[in-house]
Amino acid sequence: MAASTRWERLRFALFMRLAATALFTRDALGLRFAPNHPEISHRRAAAALSSRLCHRLLIPAGRRQIEAQLTLPAQPPRALVLLCHGIGERLSFWTQVQLLLADAAIGSLVFHYSSYGQSRGPATTDAFESDARTAYAFLAALSPNTPLFLFGTSLGSAVAAHVAGSVDPQPAGLILSQGFPSLRAASAAVLALLGIRHPLLPRVMPDLWRSAEAVRSVRCPILVVHSPDDELFPASMGEALYHAAAQRPSCRQTFVSPSGFAHNDVSLRPSLGYWSPIMDFILAEAAHFTKNNDAAILGVTTRP
């Protein structure tokens, strides 16, 4: 991603602050005045869920810390995955997903971006990407020989797409869920949902995240998951990410389109209908990644 200007960073930070505040205010008002609304009920249930497998922690990041939730299976994990969440989410929203992954022997870490929860710092694209790299390195150090994956949904799909090509070690796979090809395209979709279709308004959003371009430099298998029933980002956005990934030479990519899932169902109503293809991808690519690494140690060449 090209370096952002101070004006672009300010516009992005303002948008993030306004959007996150609006979403959290909606939750608070919903709990007070519409506690039985399905969306509010799902959020309340997610916030109340706890498990001995889930641990809150603060990851050192220079002079500050990143708030995160780590969930490991009872047995040694077959794979690890870093979860990059959406714009108006909290760590607790991901507990159900993390327990679902743990049942499949997959460990996971979800973290708060700068300005979320106890993660202090500016709300900028650079800060969010730095947070992801720090959380990724922390997770990699927990079990250096375990295949490590990057997952991002909604806003998090842009974060994951933009760090996947630069983290060390290279991910065993990248999963992009309910994502978008560019930040401006995402802005246009949000405005359209509000009934605002003026062609110039999306340009107020700085053109900082271009995920369709970013995935072309990623050299690991990519899974794109996008439900056609997403009310926020149309499935064509997921298809755009997949077609961009397909332009890479000698790399695998897969597109899955599970029906019947709204935008926030990914975390708030996780089901096997959505997550089974993701877990299958993680476990299959983990086995392939381990096989390749073992072959490399022995000096044997395998397929990419």
Quote the tokens at residue 160. 């994951």
Q: What is the CA radius of gyration of the chain?
A: 19
Q: What are phi and psi of 23, to 5 degrees?
A: -70, -45
Amino acid 272 reads L
The pLDDT of residue 304: 46
Alpha carbons within 13 angstroms on the beta-carbon side of residue 197 total 3
- The CA distance from 151 to 69, in Å, is 15
CA distance 227 to 178: 7
Q: Say what the pLDDT of residue 294 is.
A: 62
CA distance 124 to 133: 14
Q: Per-residue confidence of the chain (304 residues) as pLDDT tens digits?
A: 445 677 666 667 666 666 566 555 655 555 566 556 656 555 555 565 667 889 999 999 988 999 999 999 999 999 999 999 998 889 999 999 999 999 999 999 999 999 889 998 888 888 999 999 999 999 999 999 999 999 999 999 999 999 999 999 999 999 999 999 998 888 777 766 666 565 665 566 667 789 999 999 999 999 999 999 998 899 999 999 999 999 999 899 999 999 999 988 999 888 999 999 999 999 999 999 888 776 555 554 444 4
Rounded CA-CA distance 110/299 in Å is 36
What predicted TM-score, i.e. pTM, was given to this entire model?
0.85
In CATH terms, is domain 6-182+208-298 a member of 3.10.310.10? no
Q: If you ran DSSP here, which 8-state letter would residue 269 be given?
A: S
DSSP3 helix / strand / coil % (the chain, rounded to 5): 45, 15, 40
Of 266, 226, 274, give the one whose Cα is nearest residue 83.
Answer: 266
How far apart are alpha carbons 281 and 253 in whole angstroms?
Answer: 10
Q: Are 246 and 223 in contact (CB under 8 A)?
A: no
Residues 6 or more apart from 138 whose CB is under 8 A from it?
59, 68, 109
The DSSP bridge pattern shows strands 64-71 and 106-111 to be antiparallel
Q: 224-263: b or e for each residue (b if 16 or more CB lie within 10 Å)? A: bbbbeebebbbbebbebbbebbbebeebbbbbbbbeebbb
End-to-end CA, the chain: 26
pLDDT in the model for residue 28: 58
SS3 243: helix
Beta strands in 112-172 (DSSP E): 148-153
Task: Reduce the DSSP state of residue 64 to 3 states and report it.
Answer: strand
Distance CA 64, CA 76 (A): 30
**How far, CA to CA in Å, does 122 sit from each of 4, 58, 184, 285?**
14, 17, 21, 35
3-state secondary structure at position 301: coil
Pairing of strands 106-111, 148-153: unpaired
